[in-house]
Structure 1
Amino acid sequence: MKNLSRLLLAFVLVLGYNYADAQDKNNPWQITIGVNAVDAFPSGDGALFTGNGEASYSIFGKLVDTDNYNILPSLSTISVSKYVGDGFSFGVAGSLNKIEKWGEVPGTSDSASADDLSYYGVDGTIKYNFLEGTTIDPYLGVGGGYTWIDEIGAGTLNGTAGLNIWFNDNIGFTLQTSYKHAFEDYLDTHFQHTAGLSIKFGGTDTDGDGIYDKDDACPEVAGLAAFNGCPDTDGDGIEDSKDDCPNEAGSAELNGCPDSDGDGIADKDDKCPSVAGLKALAGCPDADGDGVTDADDKCPNTAGPAANKGCPWPDTDGDGVLDKDDKCPEVKGTVANAGCPEVTAEVQKTLNEYAKTILFDTGKSSIKSESEQVLADIIKIINEYPTAKFTVEGHTDSVGSEKLNQNLSESRAASVKDYLTSHGVDQFRLSSKGYGESKPIASNKTRSGRAQNRRVEINLVK
């Protein structure tokens, strides 16, 4: 049985140290120094080391009955543990005590006395912390060890529950209770409670900036504590990873970049970094506020559109329609007619008075030469209205067949149109149509009436 205890202790210790040795160099260490209390009642064990006391058969029956505690009034326990990751740590603890009470006198509630027995224990524990990194840090553990009472020892299997209360990142208070099950009949199963001051330390600082790698967001580059170990190369108070200009000091508003001209635009984005300007123009100035930078503005002190290089559009004819929108930029017109003059009723009347005087050869569509002057006047009038479109309409009297009159009216209208377009009128502005004898303006029963019905009209297309 004794050899089994020793083998179990050796197995637990070797397993624990293997875990510790295999871990990351940044795992912190923890030392706890304090006092311990040994309590053989309740233990659930009927065989007592002293032979004159008794144990409870309800393990937790008197767990907090301090009358049964053996406490040495001095520092009596020390433990060292190493964090191994994911909430687990391995620790080794040594303790000493003096046993004056071991269980209770049978049939009473009095503590059974012992003859100042010495108590020594060495234990190894693997612990798991449930709330790692918090102020209140509970844990459970399992392990084993060896305990001596007056030079008689035995191996134990231990179950541990504890609580760390951290005052800051390094200092805390630890409470722990271990249930130690003995493997030999001459050592009773018992509880050992400890309370002490805990100190955490250790770790590696690869970049030498005073911040351990485990807490250093930039462990291989020296930095500042304010930035979790990351650097601020230009010293502008903005860490390099968040600084758009890490080598030039700047402002937080511009993500660490400088603004030489103070216009609120970082130099790296400012096309005119030495002259204050506008954000909309990439930091360049616009003196006349026309949206064209002064460097590109041909009229920097007079507002004008970008399409005209910053200069205002001219209005050559002064009709209120800018040349760029004026279809007749050199002839005064109206805004409604895109800067071109509009054909008035008076002009329309004049056109038709001229048109009625156009003479044709009898029964033909050929124009007589004496009509050239009146046609020239008509061309002049039409060209004064370059955006207006007209239709040339031919009419006849009722003499002859209707079909003949229709054909004659169409050919005469077409003849006038062709003359006009061949003498300077845009062909796309003219059309022609014949109405024959269908639209008389006077009676066809009289010579004068028939003369009025034989006519050509030039009407505005609306």
Structure 2
Amino acid sequence: MKKTVIFALAGSMLVGACTTDPYTGQQKVSNAAAGAGIGALAGAGLGLLAGGNDRRNALIGAGVGALAGGLAGGYMDRQESELRAQLQGSGVSVTRAGDQIILNMPSNITFATDQDAVKAGFYNTLNSVALVLKKFNQTTVDVFGHTDSTGGDQHNFDLSQRRALSVANYLGAQGVDSRRFAVTGFGATRPIASNATSEGRAQNRRVEIQLSPLT
């Protein structure tokens, strides 16, 4: 089970309701289903899209050029270098996986316990991320929310969704093109450490940003 929201500039409010994609079985969540955390998205003029290729088509249709296959690696190299420089000492890790870049944002620096509002102390870090994302605009941005296994499954999925939405919404408010984003809440289904220890649970509570070249 996971919940994905794909959104783009589309008027003054979020549209759509909680539906299941008949082809993928994936649940698409609107503001009504995602809870209070998505409310800020409406103020940013974000609308729900349906279908995995919508981001790519919207960006190319808006004049954002796709990268030729041979150029993607170098483009992501330069973006990775700038992210590492901007995020040094921030507590956010930068990992490279092929042509993708993953930023791991632990919840202890991003959110208060069981809350979905980004901590004010984390704004400067997200501002740095936004600067790089605006410079390297030929990438799509997937924001993944994760929790530990404490609490019920539905609560964890909803919390992970709202936290990911909060991060995406903040970046959008800093001028990152909202058509680049997709947001997914995974709850506790993708741990990176054992939930049997407090240290492991702390590692599992995180938001990840995955950057992929637009090709």
**Length-normalised TM-score, structure 1:** 0.26
Tell me the alpha carbon deviations over residues 366-391 of structure 1, each in whole angstroms, 9 at most, x when there is no partner: 01100011101211222232111010
Higher strand share: 1
Instruction: Give the Cα separation in 1 of the matches to 2:116 and 2:64.
Output: 39
Indicate how the Cα distance of structure 1 residues 369 and 385 shifts in structure 2: closer, same or farther if over 3 A, else same: same
Instruction: Name which structure has the greater RCO, CA cutoff 8 Å, separation 6+.
Output: 2
Distance 2:163 2:156 in 1: 10
Mapped to 2, the partners of 1:435 and 1:345 lie a distance apart of 30
Asked if the contact 2:147/2:187 (under 8 Å) is kept, the reply is yes
Q: Residues of 1 paired with 2:183 and 2:77: CA distance?
A: 21
Change (3 A) 1:354 1:454: closer
Task: Quote the residue 1:440 is aligned against.
Answer: 191
Matches of 2:64 and 2:149 in 1, distance apart? 47
| 1:457 matched to 2:208 | yes
Distance 1:384 1:453 in 2: 30
| TM-score, length-scaled by structure 2 | 0.54
Contact conserved, 1:388 with 1:429, CA < 8 A, in 2?
A: yes
The answer to whether the aligner puts 1:393 opposite 2:144 as a matched pair is: yes
Shift of residue 461, structure 1, vs aligned partner = 3.8
Mapped to 2, the partners of 1:389 and 1:445 lie a distance apart of 34
> d(CA) in 1 for partners of 2:104 and 2:186?
19
Q: Which runs of 4+ in 1 moved over 6 A?
A: none
Contact 1:341–1:384 at 8 Å: present in 2 too? no
Deviation at 1:431, TM superposition (A): 1.3
Give a deviation string over 1:110-167, Cα, whole Å, max 9, x none.
Answer: xxxxxxxxxxxxxxxxxxxxxxxxxxxxxxxxxxxxxxxxxxxxxxxxxxxxxxxxxx
User: Where in structure 2 are the equivalents of 1:192-271 lying within 5 Å?
Assistant: none
Structure 1 Cα separation of the partners of residues 95 and 200 of structure 2: 20
Cα displacement string for residues 200-259 of structure 1 (whole angstroms, at most 9, x for unaligned residues): xxxxxxxxxxxxxxxxxxxxxxxxxxxxxxxxxxxxxxxxxxxxxxxxxxxxxxxxxxxx
- Partner of residue 349, structure 1: 95
C-alpha spacing 1:346/1:379, structure 2 compared with 1 (3 Å): closer
Percent of aligned positions with the same letter in both sequences? 34
Q: CA deviation at 1:326?
A: 9.4
Within the candidate set 179, 182, 185, 1:428 is matched to: 179
* Pairwise CA RMSD: 3.1
366 and 326 in structure 1: CA distance in 2 versus 1, 3 angstrom threshold: closer
Separation in 1, partners of 2:74, 2:208 = 21
Partner of 2:10: none
Deviation by residue 1:68-110 (Cα, 9 ceiling, x = unmatched): xxxxxxxxxxxxxxxxxxxxxxxxxxxxxxxxxxxxxxxxxxx
2:132 aligned residue (376, 381, 397): 381
Higher-Rg member (1/2): 1
Structure 2: stretches of 5+ with no match in the other structure: 1-62, 81-93
Which structure carries more helix by proportion? Answer: 2
Shift of 1:354: 5.8
Aligned positions, number: 133
DSSP-derived class of the 1:410 partner? helix
For 1:425 and 1:446, locate their aligned partners in 2 and report how far apart those are by CA, in whole Å. Answer: 37
CA contact (8 A) 1:359 1:371 kept: yes
2:199 counterpart letter in structure 1: S
Task: Tell me if structure 1 keeps the 8 A contact 2:102–2:211.
Answer: no
